[in-house]
Structure 1
Amino acid sequence: MIRNIATGVLCAGVYIIFTSCNSKQTEKSSINYVVQGDTINIPSGSNLENKLKLLTIQSVSYSLPILTAGIVKAIPTQYAEIAPPFKGRVTRSYLQLGMKTSIGTPLFEISSPDFMEAQKVFFQERTQSAQAYKNLRRQEDLVAHGVGTKKDLEEAQTAYEMAAKEYENALIGIRLFKAAPDKLSLGQPLVVRAPIAGEIIENKVVLGQFIRDDAASIATVAELSQIWIASQVKEKDIRFINKLDECSISVAALPEKQIKGKVYHVNEIVDETTRSIQVLVAVDNKDRTLKPGMYVNVSFIPAPSAAVLVPAKAIMQMSNTSFVFVALAPGRYIKRKVETTGSGTDKVVIQSGLNPGEQIIAEGGFYLLDAQ
């Protein structure tokens, strides 16, 4: 009995010693790296050696797309809201939605008391000016034949100059109504005409309605074969945007259609609320795909420039900071903070923190995160 107990204790002791030795061997093999400050050393023979893939940084020609939203707008010089400059009642309308217009095309007619009064003044002053001119010519003829007096001639000259000035003022008053003085007849209605070439896109004119002189727009003429897209570009990206740069526009309602445009103008003022800058994009719109007020997506395509690109897998994140592991020597790495400006599908553009010729861990860097 005593012999069996002794034998059991001896075996147990041997098992403990064996287990202890095996545990030390396992602990030794689990040491994959050694941390010294900011540097990580990977000993030769570590099982991490085959899990880390290195990449030598190179500068490549790259164009970073800048994505933003935009709103379709009519070009101001090709868009006109029509509101009568004077009050009156609509007596006739030529308007039809989609109707093509040129400069001066009649839109509608109104009977305007102000226009009637301007007509009366115009015809009255025109008549008085003509009479004053005839009187002046008669006095000049009388003086030439030695019958008239110099005083009567001077009075006729003064009267004509005053009448001519009053007629000129009346003429200006008629032209304020966009009416042709040489075709004017007393009592004719005021004809409101199109100020630009385009088409009628809005018509609120009702025959017989009375329009006040402070009324809002009742019709809109626009030329939409070309439009602008007002987009907002972040302050940090505006340095990549230049006039005449190409853009690609997409519409949610037409995902399969790609529309091209060019940068027309970059605003000089930064919106302090959004820290963005308005960029106007000129777009050909002959097929009328884009409508004013429509939301679109704009992808700016700047001219290619030298850039440093790394695989997205190489970028590590910790405490809202991006960093990579840079190789100092074989088996020796250091964590380095980097700044990124954007990314493609599987590449990240490095703005600062890396230089061409340096080596980084392109894959497997997450194995070293526990060392931080």
Structure 2
Amino acid sequence: MPNRFRSTLTLALLLSLAACGGGSAPPGGGAMGDPSQMPPPLVEAITVRTQDVPNIIELPGRIEAVRIAEVRARADGIIERRLFTEGTDVTAGQPLFRIDPRDLSAQVEQARAALARAEAARSNAAAIIRRYEPLVKERAVSGQEYDQARATLRTETANVADARAALTRAQLQLGYTTVRAPISGRIGRAAVTEGALVSATQATPLATIEQPSPVHAVFTESNAAILNLRQADRSGATDVKPLAQVDVRLVLANGTEYGPTGRLDFADQTVDRETGSQTLRAVFPNGERLLLPGQFVRGRIAIGTSPNGILIPARAIQFAERGASVTVIAADGTTSPRPVQLAGQVGGNWLVKSGLKPGERIITEGWQKIMAPGMKVQVKGDPAPAAAGQQPAQPAQKK
């Protein structure tokens, strides 16, 4: 066989063996090497430390007006005119509706006439007394007649007072035909239209006025959570502020934070029988009128501070059906999951109630690379571990 042909055949056999994996594995493992020899994944980690942490609880709530006035009819009659524009601001005392006044005007005139009659009768009784006084001294009029005249004068005086009060009441009722705003604020839709019959005895509702600023934000918290907070305050785990010093921030329904800060001004001392919750209320300025009654908000209430609180970044937490957990790095670089109990969110961090101790290291970035507990990792910024079969690098000797 020619030498050239033998060389070509030998080269073809070597290529076939290499393609079938017959050759030796490349040094250093690689894709086809031993998985245990693969380098550990690179992660980022932090060391757990304690610090003074604001104790913030987040609660759902609703906006309520500080002052609400229901405008109702105080006189009987037909609505003649509506004197305001719906949805605008009104001032206290501003006319809102006009009720037909003719019937009540007639009652005022009738009461005025009754007062005039009573005053005339009193004047006549007083004149009789003046005539009887000299005659009694001369015994021309008996003492009994004189006493009767004096009694008549007192009766007529009382009749005058009664008639004057009736006139005042009739005038007051006539004044109710012009319905005025009891407070300043924004008025809503009119509940009646022109031509509607309203009644004072039934207190027919006409409109509602709500004061736009300031406003209240009303929250509810479970009684158990409030008891835990009080126990934490007594034990020193949390420093709870006095009620008037508790700041509250609002998060609106679209996720934006409301600018002005509010203060708690009321904490209910009774527990709702149906829900087992207590009511907390904060007052907020509302100069720009972004807060509307009935609006849904979330309140971040800074109850106090936790002297030895632990804050960890939100990206370090894994949430699952069983709760929250973090990945802890042991001293030898191995990892393990650790369940934690969270107390609340402070900015982009979570306050850990239990599950971690100061000095422990947890993964903040790259925990998704952990395939199973016990897997080793390389923390960014730490010196790289020595490869298998190699000695760690020795520091250079000084000459």
**TM-score of the two chains, using structure 2 as the length reference:** 0.60
Q: How does 1:24-173 map to 2 (within 5 A)?
A: 58=50, 60-76=51-67, 79-97=68-86, 100-111=89-100, 115=104, 118-119=107-108, 122-146=111-135, 149-165=146-162, 167-168=164-165, 171-172=168-169
SS at match of 1:91: strand
**Partners of 1:318 and 1:223 in 2: CA distance:** 45
Q: Is the 8 A contact 1:88 1:211 kept in 2?
A: yes
Q: Is the 8 A contact 2:54 2:346 kept in 1?
A: no
Going from structure 1 to structure 2, the CA distance change for 1:320 and 1:211 (only over 3 Å counts) comes to same
How big is the shift at 1:251?
A: 2.1
SS at match of 1:271: coil
Matched, 1:200 2:199: no
Q: Is the 8 A contact 1:87 1:114 kept in 2?
A: no
Q: Is the 8 A contact 1:314 1:361 kept in 2?
A: no
SS at match of 1:82: strand
Deviations 1:70-125 (A, max 9, x none): 2222123xx22212123311223322235543332222221268745753553244
**Partners of 1:287 and 1:346 in 2: CA distance:** 28
How big is the shift at 1:300?
A: 1.5
Q: How many residues are matched? A: 310
Going from structure 1 to structure 2, the CA distance change for 1:306 and 1:204 (only over 3 Å counts) comes to same
How big is the shift at 1:274?
A: 3.5
**Partners of 1:281 and 1:141 in 2: CA distance:** 71
SS at match of 2:301: strand
Q: Is the 8 A contact 2:48 2:362 kept in 1?
A: no
Considering fraction of residues, name the structure with more strand: 1
Deviations 1:48-84 (A, max 9, x none): 9xx9x895753x22112222222222123xx222121
Deviations 1:3-50 (A, max 9, x none): xxxxxxxxxxxxxxxxxxxxxxxxxxx9xxxxxxxxxxxxxxxxx9xx
**Partners of 2:165 and 2:171 in 1: CA distance:** 10
How big is the shift at 1:309?
A: 0.8
Comparing 292-301 with 194-203, which one deviates more in the overlay? 194-203
Comparing 274-283 with 96-105, which one deviates more in the overlay? 96-105
| Amino acid across the alignment from 2:177 | L
| Amino acid across the alignment from 1:93 | R
Going from structure 1 to structure 2, the CA distance change for 1:253 and 1:220 (only over 3 Å counts) comes to same
Deviations 1:245-277 (A, max 9, x none): 222123234837534222221222223444332
Which one of 226, 232, 242 corresponds to residue 214 of structure 2?
A: 226
- Residue number in structure 2 paired with 1:289: 290
Going from structure 1 to structure 2, the CA distance change for 1:232 and 1:251 (only over 3 Å counts) comes to same
SS at match of 1:203: coil
| Amino acid across the alignment from 1:251 | L
Comparing 310-319 with 234-243, which one deviates more in the overlay? 310-319
Q: How does 1:306-317 map to 2 (within 5 A)?
A: 306-309=307-310, 311=312
**Partners of 2:130 and 2:195 in 1: CA distance:** 55
Going from structure 1 to structure 2, the CA distance change for 1:144 and 1:330 (only over 3 Å counts) comes to farther
**Partners of 2:284 and 2:46 in 1: CA distance:** 45
Q: Is the 8 A contact 1:324 1:360 kept in 2?
A: no
> CA RMSD for the aligned pairs?
4.5
Q: How does 1:204-219 map to 2 (within 5 A)?
A: 204-213=191-200, 214=202, 216-219=204-207
Larger Rg: 2
**Partners of 1:282 and 1:342 in 2: CA distance:** 23
Going from structure 1 to structure 2, the CA distance change for 1:74 and 1:62 (only over 3 Å counts) comes to same
**Partners of 1:54 and 1:206 in 2: CA distance:** 68
Comparing 85-94 with 140-149, which one deviates more in the overlay? 140-149
SS at match of 1:137: helix
Going from structure 1 to structure 2, the CA distance change for 1:93 and 1:57 (only over 3 Å counts) comes to closer
Matched, 1:191 2:191: no
**Partners of 1:314 and 1:336 in 2: CA distance:** 11
Unaligned 5+ residue runs, structure 1? Answer: 1-29, 31-47, 180-188
- Residue number in structure 1 paired with 2:278: 277
| Amino acid across the alignment from 2:215 | I
SS at match of 1:156: helix
**TM-score of the two chains, using structure 1 as the length reference:** 0.64
**Partners of 1:171 and 1:308 in 2: CA distance:** 69
**Partners of 2:59 and 2:101 in 1: CA distance:** 49
Calculate percent identity across the aligned residue pairs.
Answer: 20
Q: How does 1:335-354 map to 2 (within 5 A)?
A: 340-344=342-346, 347-351=349-353
| Amino acid across the alignment from 2:59 | T
How big is the shift at 1:191?
A: 1.6
- Residue number in structure 2 paired with 1:11: none
Q: Is the 8 A contact 2:262 2:282 kept in 1?
A: yes
**Partners of 2:267 and 2:197 in 1: CA distance:** 44
Going from structure 1 to structure 2, the CA distance change for 1:154 and 1:205 (only over 3 Å counts) comes to same
